[in-house]
Chain A
Amino acid sequence: MIDRRRLLSLGASAGAALACGPFIRPSYAQAGALKVGLLLPYSGTYAPLGEAITRGLELYVQSQGGKLAGRSISFVKVDDESAPPKATELTTKLIQSEKADVLVGTVHSGVAMAMVKIAREDGIPTIVPNAGADIITRAMCAPNVFRTSFANGQIGRATGDAMIKAGLKKAVTVTWKYAAGEEMVSGFKKSFIAGKGEVVKDITIAFPDVEFQSALAEIASLKPDCVYAFFSGGGALKFIKDYAAANLGIPLWGPGFLTDGVEAAAGPAGDGIKTVLHYVVDLDNAENLAFVKSFEAAYKIPPDVFAVQGWDAGQLLDAGLKAVGGDVSKRKELNAAMAKASFASPRGPFKLSAAHNPVQNFYLRELKGGKSVNLGLAAPAVADEAIGCKLS
Chain B
Amino acid sequence: MSLILIQALNGLQTGLVIFLAASGLTLVFGILGVINLSHGSFYMIGAYLALSLTGMFGDVFLALVAGIPLAFLLGLAIEWLFIRHLYDRDHLQQVLLTFALILIFNEFQQVVWGSYPHSIPAPSYLAHSVRLTEGLSYPVYRLALMAICVALAISMALIIQKTRIGRLIRAAESNREMVEALGFDSRLIFRMVFATGVALAATAGMLAAPIESAYPGIGDRVLIISFVVVVIGGIGSVRGAFIGSLLIGLTDAFGKVFLPQFSSIIIYALMALVLVIRPAGLFGRA
Contact = CB atoms under 8 A, between A and B. Distances in A.
The finding on whether chains A and B are genuine partners in a shared complex, rather than unrelated, reads yes
Given A43-B110, A217-B3, A241-B213, A262 B137 contact: no
Contacts of B119: 237, 241, 262, 265-267, 269
Interface in A195-220: 203-206, 208-211, 213-218, 220
Contact of B117 (A204, A213, A237, A245): A237
A221 interface: yes
A101 to B, nearest CB: 30
Nearest to A221: B3
Interface in A219-262: 220-221, 223, 233-234, 236-238, 241-242, 245-248, 261-262
Interface stretch (A4-12, A44-52, A87-95, A289-297): A44-52
Interface in B268-285: none
B21 to A, nearest CB: 15
B135 A211 contact: no
B6 interface: yes
B260 A204 contact: yes
B220 to A, nearest CB: 9
A211 B3 contact: no
Given A223-B135, A238-B212, A214 B253 contact: yes
A44 B216 contact: yes
Contacts of B118: 265
B164 interface: no
A177 B262 CA distance: 12
Interface in A264-305: 265-267, 269
B117 to A, nearest CB: 4
A237 B221 CA distance: 17
B263 interface: yes
Nearest to B262: A206
A178 to B, nearest CB: 11
Nearest to A238: B213
Contacts of A209: 221, 264
B115 interface: yes
Given A214-B7, A234-B117, A45 B217 contact: yes
A223 to B, nearest CB: 7
B215 A214 contact: no
Nearest to A214: B256
Contacts of A266: 119
B136 A248 contact: yes
A93 B144 CA distance: 54
A48 B216 CA distance: 12
A260 to B, nearest CB: 11
A218 to B, nearest CB: 7
Interface in B98-135: 110, 114-119, 121, 129, 131, 133, 135
A204 B256 CA distance: 10
B74 interface: no
Interface in A33-50: 43-48
B166 interface: no
B14 interface: yes
A285 B209 CA distance: 40
Contact of B215 (A204, A213, A234): A234
Contacts of A217: 2-3, 6-7, 10, 136, 257
B223 to A, nearest CB: 14
A152 to B, nearest CB: 21
Contacts of A247: 129, 131, 136-137
A90 B152 CA distance: 49
A190 B114 CA distance: 38
Contact of B216 (A45, A238, A241, A265): A45
A128 B11 CA distance: 42
Contact of B129 (A43, A48, A246): A246
A223 B136 CA distance: 11
Contacts of A248: 135-136
Nearest to B135: A220
A177 B260 CA distance: 11
B257 A233 contact: no
B33 interface: no
B263 A48 contact: no
B211 interface: yes
A47 B109 CA distance: 13
Q: Determine which residue in A46, A262, A267 has the highest number of CB atoms from chain B within 10 A of its CB, and name it.
A: A262
B58 interface: no
A218 B264 contact: no
Which 9 pairs of residues, A with B, have the shortest CB-CB distance?
A234-B215, A206-B264, A265-B119, A234-B117, A247-B137, A220-B136, A245-B139, A213-B10, A217-B6
6 contacts: A213-B6, A213-B253, A241-B211, A241-B213, A246-B139, A265-B117
